[in-house]
Structure 1
Amino acid sequence: MEALALGFSLGLWAGVNPGPLTLLVIRQALTHGAGAAALASLAPLLTDSFAIVLAFLVARSLPPGLERALEAVGGAFLVYLGCKGLRRSGPVGGRGTALNGLRDAVVVNLTNPHMYLFWFAVGAGQLKRPLPEPLWFVLGFYPAIVGSKALIGLLIARYRHLPWLAPLARWSNALLVALGGYLLVVAARA
């Protein structure tokens, strides 16, 4: 049960932690509604398995060049998403936009070096423990990370009509641009 509590705690922390995926979930909630935000919050389920396998293959350490490349690609993608969002005005809907949001969330998560560092430094060690500990860890982690991001999206979408939330979509897009720019600077400096 310790592994379940640890997985849940780490998943909850990762779910509410401000970062590119959380900003994308907020943007989806404000522009496309709760369904699109919930769909975008599923990205960790689709991307983390890749990081887990990579963590085992590369023996728990990212080569510095790969980390910089991921930061640069991720930063450029965040700048692109933020600029695209800033050009768009007002809420739009539809199934295609929700699926596009999920695609964007998957790309954001795959190019986020923090996801890989988490699985290399913390997750891989938990998954190498004797059974059933890894299963409890995963059963705590994924519902917490996906559920907390989906809850943030649901709350934002529910109250998006409030006048003080209207500028939040623009701010989340501007923050995506700023975060992407920061990642590009960090990648170039390293």
Structure 2
Amino acid sequence: MLSIFFGSFLVGLSGAMAPGPLMAIAISRSTKDWKAPLKLITGHVLLEALLVLLLLVGVQTIPPFLMKVISLIGGAFLVYMGISQLYEVKDLSLSANTGNSKLSLPVQGALVSLSNPYFLLWWFSVGSAFLFRAREQLFLGVLLFYLGHILSDITWYTLLGVVGQLFTKPSWKGVYRIVLVSTSMILIGFGVYFLIGAFRGDFFHVL
């Protein structure tokens, strides 16, 4: 049983530490509130709970058309998030807020995760393989798999929140501006990449 938990934690940690849109937002928001990455990851882990349930009831593939729609809408959403974040550079503030987006951080976390086609591909390939192995131990195995996985997310994003507090010092304001612009460009870059991939069909040949 412990092997399920720790195996899930280690695999999940490798995924959590991989650069991506969610991490970019977490880094930029961590400077305003160390708990912001944890709020973001709340939406992410709730979405993962839904995916676990879908896999358990037998949903094992995503129709290519649906993946294309997700890539198009998700790519546009990330571009919007990146551009919105760039506007914060004009009126730079380290006060605790959620930026220009009117969406709550948990909702942002869920939507940004869903906008990433590779997030879904991971769950319907690597994630499902681990889950089905854990299912051999019935409910407890599935529970340990899920807890190990989300603990890796929570651990990493807590660390991001703590490290982000370095930028709250006035002397670091210039560095924060660079971080904000950099993470904005990362979001826009991922958004454009997903949009191009949707039109080219690059995400679907592996399904």
TM range (shorter): 0.7 to 0.9
AA matched with 2:93? P
How far residue 160 of structure 1 moved from its aligned partner, in angstroms, is: 4.4
Aligned to 1:2: 3
Work out the number of aligned pairs and report it.
Answer: 189
Could you tell me how far 1:189 is from its partner in structure 2? 1.1
1:134-174 CA deviation, whole Å, 9 max, x = no partner?
22222211111122022113212334433434311111011
Tell me the secondary structure at the aligned position of residue 62 of structure 1.
coil
Residue number in structure 1 paired with 2:147: 139
Asked whether 1:149 is paired with 2:153, we answer no
Contact 1:27 1:172 in 2 (8 A): yes
1:186 and 2:202 correspond: no
The answer (yes or no) to whether the contact 2:44–2:106 under 8 Å persists in 1 is no
Paired-residue identity, %: 25
Query: What's the CA shift string for 1:90-136, capped at 9, x where partnerless?
Result: 12534665973332222111222222222211222333322233222
Stretches of structure 1 lacking an aligned partner (at least 5 in a row): none
TM-score by length of 2: 0.80
**Residue 126 of structure 2 corresponds to residue 118 of structure 1:** no
The alignment yields a C-alpha RMSD, in angstroms, of: 2.3
Contact 1:26 1:153 in 2 (8 A): yes
The 3 A distance-change label for structure 1 pair 59 and 47 is closer
The alignment's TM-score, normalised by the length of structure 1, stands at 0.87
The answer on whether the counterparts of 1:7 and 1:140 sit within 8 Å (CA) in structure 2 is yes
Letter in 2 for 1:184: L
Alignment check: 8 A CA contact 1:37 1:153 kept: yes
Match of 1:167 among 173, 178, 183: 178
- Given that residues 78 and 115 in structure 2 are in contact (C-alpha distance below 8 angstroms), is that contact kept between their aligned partners in structure 1? no
The reply to whether residue 87 of structure 1 matches residue 87 of structure 2 is yes
CA distance in 2, matches of 1:121, 1:88: 38
- Structure 1 Cα separation of the partners of residues 183 and 15 of structure 2: 18
Larger Rg: 2
Q: Secondary structure at the match of 2:136?
A: coil
TM-superposed deviation, 1:16: 1.0
Q: Contact (CA 8 Å) 1:11, 1:144: kept in 2 or not? A: yes
